[in-house]
C-alpha cells in the first residue's frame, strides 16, 4: 500500500472509530442529562401556565409535555446500559487517539513502508471490531455529528477526506426532515397567498 492510500485509509477508519465513540457518549448524555433538563423545562412551563392561564397555545404546550414525558419513559429502557455506553466511548476514544498518532507518524515518514505499520494498524482494527454496542438511543446519531466535528480534534480527518459542512457534517436524515419542513412551509405560504391574489385581481 502506498503512503497516500494508507493515510486515506487511516482517516476513513479514524472517522468510523471517532464517530462510534461520540455516538456512545451521545447515548450516555441523552440518558443522563435529558430527563433532568426536560423536568426543569416542564416545571417552568407548568408555573407559567398557572400564572398566566390565558396564554396562547396553553393546551398545545400541555400536549407537547405529555409526548416529551412518553419519550423520557422510552429512555428508561436504556438506564441499565449507561456504564456500557460510557466504557465503550472511552475505549473507542483511546483507539481514535492511537489511529490519529499512527496517521501523523506515517505522514511524516519520508521512507514510508507499509510493512512498518501493518501490525499496529491491524491491532487497532482488531480491537475496534472486537466489541460494539449496536443498539443506541434514538437521536444519538444527530448529537454525535455535533460532538464528533466540534468537540473532537478531527481536522486531520476533515482535511484528508476533504469533508464539507453540508455534505458530511449534517446528518442525512436531518437534511430530509429540513427539506420536508421547507416544502410544507412553502406550500402553506403559497396556498395562503392564492385567495389574496384572487381578490387583488378582481
pLDDT in tens, 102-149: 999 999 999 999 999 999 999 999 999 998 887 888 888 888 999 999
pLDDT at residue 88, rounded to an integer:
95
Please tell me the distance from the alpha carbon of residue 155 to that of residue 143, in angstroms, as a whole number: 19
- SS in 3 state form for the chain? CCHHHHHHHHHHHHHHHHHHHHHHHHHHHHHHHHHHHHHHHHHHHHHHHHHCCCCCCHHHHHHHHHHHHHHHHHHHHHHHHHHHHHHHHHHHHHHHHHHHHHHHHHHCCCCCCCHHHHHHHHHHHHHHHCCCCCCCCCCHHHHHHHHHHHHCCCHHHHHHHCCCHHHHHCCHHHHHHHHHHHHHHHHHHHHHHHHHHHHHHC
Domain ranges of the chain: 3-162, 171-202
- What percentage of the chain exceeds 70 in pLDDT? 86
Task: Give first-to-last CA distance, the chain, whole Å.
Answer: 74
- The model's pTM is 0.77
pLDDT at residue 176, rounded to an integer:
87
pLDDT at residue 134, rounded to an integer:
77
- For the chain, residues with pLDDT lower than 70 are 49, 51-62, 192-202
Amino acid at each position: 500500500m502506498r503512503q497516500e492510500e494508507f493515510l486515506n485509509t487511516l482517516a476513513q477508519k479514524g472517522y468510523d472509530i471517532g464517530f462510534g465513540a461520540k455516538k456512545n457518549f451521545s447515548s450516555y448524555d441523552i440518558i443522563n442529562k435529558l430527563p433532568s433538563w426536560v423536568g426543569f423545562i416542564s416545571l417552568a412551563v407548568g408555573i407559567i401556565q398557572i400564572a398566566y392561564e390565558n396564554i396562547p397555545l396553553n393546551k398545545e404546550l400541555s400536549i407537547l409535555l405529555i409526548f416529551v414525558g412518553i419519550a423520557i419513559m422510552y429512555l428508561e429502557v436504556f438506564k441499565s446500559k449507561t456504564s456500557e455506553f460510557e466504557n465503550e466511548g472511552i475505549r473507542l476514544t483511546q483507539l481514535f487517539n492511537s489511529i490519529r498518532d499512527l496517521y501523523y507518524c506515517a505522514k511524516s515518514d519520508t521512507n514510508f513502508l507499509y510493512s512498518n505499520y501493518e501490525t499496529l494498524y491491524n491491532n487497532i482494527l482488531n480491537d475496534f471490531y472486537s466489541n460494539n454496542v449496536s443498539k443506541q438511543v434514538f437521536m444519538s446519531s444527530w448529537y454525535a455529528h455535533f460532538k464528533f466535528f466540534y468537540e473532537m480534534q478531527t481536522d486531520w480527518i476533515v482535511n484528508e477526506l476533504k469533508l464539507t459542512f453540508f455534505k458530511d457534517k449534517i446528518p442525512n436524515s436531518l437534511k430530509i426532515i429540513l427539506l420536508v419542513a421547507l416544502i410544507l412551509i412553502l406550500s402553506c405560504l403559497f396556498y395562503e397567498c392564492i385567495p389574496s391574489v384572487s381578490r387583488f385581481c378582481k
